[in-house]
Amino acid sequence: MNIPYEPILFGYKTNIHLILEYLAFFVAFRYYVILRRHSNDVISSNNRLSIILGAALGALIGSRIVGFLENPLVSLSQENLIQLLNTKTIMGGLFGGLLGVEIAKKRIGETQSSGDLFVFPIILGIFIGRIGCFLSGINEFTYGRETSSVFGMDLGDGLLRHPVALYELVFLILLFFSLKRIQNKASLKNGDLFKWFMVFYFSFRFFIEFLKPNTFYILWLSTIQILCIICLLYYYKTILNVFKHAR
């Protein structure tokens, strides 16, 4: 199999990343429905629907804004503008979704933490999407810098690069089972599991960004890394609790 992988279906070349992206949304939502059905959700169905809508709207806006800010200095033309409008990133989606949920909860007066049920469906959705990123090779900006290490792979341009998407797939597997273990063994407060997920995932993404051919605009950091710092500052109390549990 060659990378980028572009299978022919019904005589047309298909975008495997787009297909897996839609599959990720479908599978993740069905997983969420199953988890909620077997849980004692303290949030009413109407409020839960409002929260989901807030998360979806926030994720849509956040993913586009951060996607645009990854290339803020690009020359504006009709072609570039269309490309920028179609650019999105899971990091902006996660943080935008978080803000969307908080706004929705304030409007409906919901005080209970709502994120724990989303944790494992989100991880599964990201995992499926990252398979699409890997198979797309250099067609998606999820490839790494050139490397001479044993991990180097040809992602479609004849150069050996860090397969960043594969690194993330391994991390997501470890994260999934680690959080499952924490959920079963630790006495967490409602909402803590989601906070731990955000801290671990955004920390991972901060460091893995150094392996990508990013443009570093401020303090030698990329837009994604700056967002990671903002998110980690938002969860600074959770980070202190993580170290406390580790001890």
* Nearest one of 172, 152, 150, 149 to 162, comparing CA atoms: 152
pLDDT at 76: 52
Claim: this prediction has a pTM higher than 0.75? yes
Of 59, 178, 57, nearest in space to 125 by CA: 59
Is pLDDT of 41 > 70?
yes
Are 169 and 131 a contacting pair, CB within 8 Å?
yes
Residue 197 in this model has a pLDDT that exceeds 70? yes
Buried b or exposed e, range 97-109, using 16+ CB within 10 angstroms: bbbbbeebbeeee
How long a stretch of residues is the chain?
247
Report the alpha-carbon distance of residue 111 to residue 106 in Å, rounded.
8
Lowest mean pLDDT among 74-83, 158-167, 187-196: 74-83
Token reading at 115 = 């994120």
- Predicted pLDDT at 83: 52
* Mean pLDDT score of the chain: 84
Determine the average pLDDT of the residues in 10-25. Answer: 84
The answer to whether residue 10 scores a pLDDT higher than 80 is no
Residue 86 is predicted with a pLDDT of 54
Distance CA 211, CA 219 (A): 17
239 contacts: CB under 8 Å, gap ≥ 6: 199, 232
pLDDT score for 65: 81
What is the predicted pLDDT for the residue at 72? 56
Residues 44-54: what's their mean pLDDT? 85
Which pLDDT band, with edges at 50, 70 and 90, does 130 fall under?
A: very high
How much is the pLDDT for 247?
Answer: 60
Mean pLDDT of 68-94: 63
- For residues 240 and 232, is the Cβ–Cβ distance under 8 A? no
Banded model confidence at residue 167, pLDDT cuts 50, 70, 90: very high
User: What does the pLDDT read at residue 179?
Assistant: 94
- pLDDT of 156 reads 85
Instruction: Give the mean pLDDT of 117-141.
Output: 90
pLDDT (mean) for 224-243: 88
Residue-level pLDDT at 194: 92
The answer to whether residue 85 scores a pLDDT higher than 70 is: no
